[in-house]
Amino acid sequence: MERKLIAAPDKIVDSHGVVATGVFDAPLKDVNLEDASLSTGGIPWPGWWRRMRLKEWQHVWIGGEDFYFGFAAVDGKFIKTGFSYFYDRREAGGQFVERTLESPRFQARIPSALGDSHGHLISKGFMLHIHNHLDRKDGGQHRYSLQIPAAKDEPSIMADVTLHEDLAKRQPLVVVLPFGDNAGLYSHKSIVPVNGEVVVDGRRHEITPDRFRAVLDVHKAHYPYRSFWNWTTFWGYDVEGREIGINLTDNVAIDADETNECAFWLEGRMHRLGRAVVEHPKGDTLSEWKAGTRDGQVRLRFHPEGERKGRIELALVSSKFHQPFGTYEGEVELPGGQQIKIDRAWGIAEDHKVRW
pTM: 0.97
For every residue of the chain, which 3-state class applies, written as one string? CCCCCECCCCCCECCCCCECCEEECCCCCCCCHHHCCCEECCEECCHHHHHHCCEEEEEEEEEECCEEEEEEEEECCCCEEEEEEEEECCCCCCEEEEEEEEECCCEEECCCCCCEEEEEEEECCEEEEEEEECCCCCCEEEEEEEEECCECCECCEEEEEEEEECCCCCCCEEEEEEEECCEEEEEEEEEEEEEEEEEECCEEEEECCCCEEEEEEEEEECCCCEEEEEEEEEEEEECCCCEEEEEEEEECCCCCCCCCCCEEEECCEEEECCCEEEECCCCCCCCCEEEEECCCCEEEEEEEEEEEEEEEECCCCEEEEEEEEEEEEEEEECCCCCEEEEEEEEEEEEEEEEEC
Q: What is the residue-level pLDDT of the chain in tens, covering all 356 positions?
A: 789 999 999 999 999 999 999 999 999 999 999 999 999 999 999 999 999 999 999 999 999 999 999 999 999 998 999 999 999 999 988 999 999 999 988 999 999 899 999 999 999 999 999 999 999 989 999 999 999 999 989 999 999 999 999 999 999 999 999 999 999 999 999 999 999 999 999 999 999 999 999 999 999 999 999 999 999 999 999 999 999 999 999 999 999 999 999 999 999 999 999 999 999 998 899 999 999 999 999 999 999 999 999 998 888 889 999 999 999 999 999 988 899 999 999 999 999 999 99
